[in-house]
Structure formats: C-alpha cells, structure tokens
Amino acid sequence: MSAENGNAEVEGEKRGGAKSSATICKGKSELSTLLQAAVTRKPFSELFDVSLDHRGAELIGDALLDALEKRGFGLDDFDAVGALTAAAVPMVVAVMQAAHARDRELDGFVMDFVYPSIKGPSIAGKRVVLLDSWLSEKSYVQTSSLVTLRNGNELSLDFSVVEHEDAQVVAIASLIGGVSGDADSGSIKVINPVSHEEKNLPFVMAFDEDDLRNGELGEEASAAKKVD
C-alpha cells in the first residue's frame, strides 16, 4: 500500500467511512493484547480495565460488531443491544458508538433483577442482541448470568423477560467466550420458564477464552501483527 493510499484510508475513517481490513485486523490484534493482560492468571474478570479504557472501549465496539457480522448479523438485522450484567454496560455503549460511526443508530438497555427488569428505551417490537463481557462456565461471578449458564436458569429468565416485552432475541454475544456443549456449535439453549418453550439462540463471541489464555491471537490478528 502506498503512503498516499494509506493516508486516504485514514482520512476516510476519520470522516466516519468504512474501516479498511488492515485497520480492522490491527485493532483486533491490539484489543487481543489488552484482553490477554486482563485474563492472565485470573479465573475470571469483568474486564472493566479494558472496557473503561479509552482505547479499549473504541476497539470493543468494532470487535463485537465485526464478530456479529461474521456470523451473519449485520447492522440491519437488530435494533438494540442489551447488557446482561453490569460488566456489559460499557460494552453496550461501545457497540452503540461503533454502530453510529457506521451510520446506524442502535438503542441500548440493561437487564436488572430490580423492577423494571429492563432499564432503558422501550424494546417493544425490536430485534435485540443480548451482550455480556465474558460468557464462560469457568467464571465465578455470582451476579452474572454465567454462574447458571450450564442449566440456563438465569439466561433463560433474561430471554423470557425480553420476549414478555414483545421483543425478539436474535443472538447472544460476548466479548470473550468459553462455553462447552451447545456453544461449540454456535448456539445456547434457553427455556422460557413460563411457556417452557425451548429455543437455540445463536452464540457469538469476539474472542475465544482458550486462545487468549494460550497467547494465541487468531488468524486475522496474527496476520495484522505480521504486517506490523
């Protein structure tokens, strides 16, 4: 790539244009490095040291949107993103900002045990993505939906609450994923505790827990590192 073309791409991105593939890969590599530092020698982290970092927040939004798009969920396929836990709140904001940079306006909301169960703009009639920071059976956070992920109890409750608001859950996404079972095939089973209806929801993760712990960046990020 010539210096002239490189400068043109940078200027286009500053004006809110689409990011180049090289820029996306470089950003994912940078975020991977931040996340590796956050999970090293820790069974679990809420990742606030990354999500509330000025650079980390910018990278997280793009990484989650890119992961969703890679699984077939473009910005026209959902209308809002919801935080399953407090740790996901800054990530919801990051996704909203990244979507805005791509000329798409998304609403955000927060799931809560205290009434009202959904805090934020109305999600009635909307297609939503439920988001968490780290969906893993290895996590130890009592307030997170992760602790009951094996049986799906809390996640199923979140799903039923959203459906009760006449909204549709199109996918569950996580910045870091490390879930065995159904998630290996790219889905998580939830059961509506009221209707007992079972549903397999697509599970999308931006980074694999094992890859981060083993110091692996993934193909795209590794390619970007080689270019650097």
pLDDT at site 114: 83
| Percent residues over pLDDT 90 in the chain | 51
What does the pLDDT look like over 63-108, one tens digit per residue? Answer: 999 999 999 999 999 999 999 989 999 999 999 999 999 999 999 9
pLDDT at site 119: 96
Contact 91, 46 (CB under 8 A): no
Contact 187, 81 (CB under 8 A): no
Q: Walk me through the domains of the chain, giving residue ranges and CATH numbers.
A: 46-208 (3.40.50.2020)
pLDDT at site 19: 67
Q: Of the ranges 91-95, 130-134, 178-182, which one carries the lowest mean pLDDT score?
A: 178-182
> What is the pLDDT of the chain when averaged over all its residues?
81
Which pair of structure tokens corresponds to residue 48?
């606030």
Amino acid at 128: V
Sheet (strand 118-119) strand order:
118-119, 107-111, 80-83, 127-136, 168-178, 198-208, 187-191
Contact 108, 94 (CB under 8 A): no
* pLDDT over 90 (residue 165): yes
Contact 225, 218 (CB under 8 A): no
Q: What's the whole-model pTM score?
A: 0.81
- In sequence order, the 6+-apart residues with CB closer than 8 A to the CB of 44 are 134, 136, 138, 139, 140, 141, 146
pLDDT at site 127: 98
Strand 127-136 versus strand 168-178 pairing type: parallel
Buried b (16+ CB within 10 A) or exposed e, 150-173: eebebbbbbbbbbbebebebbbbb
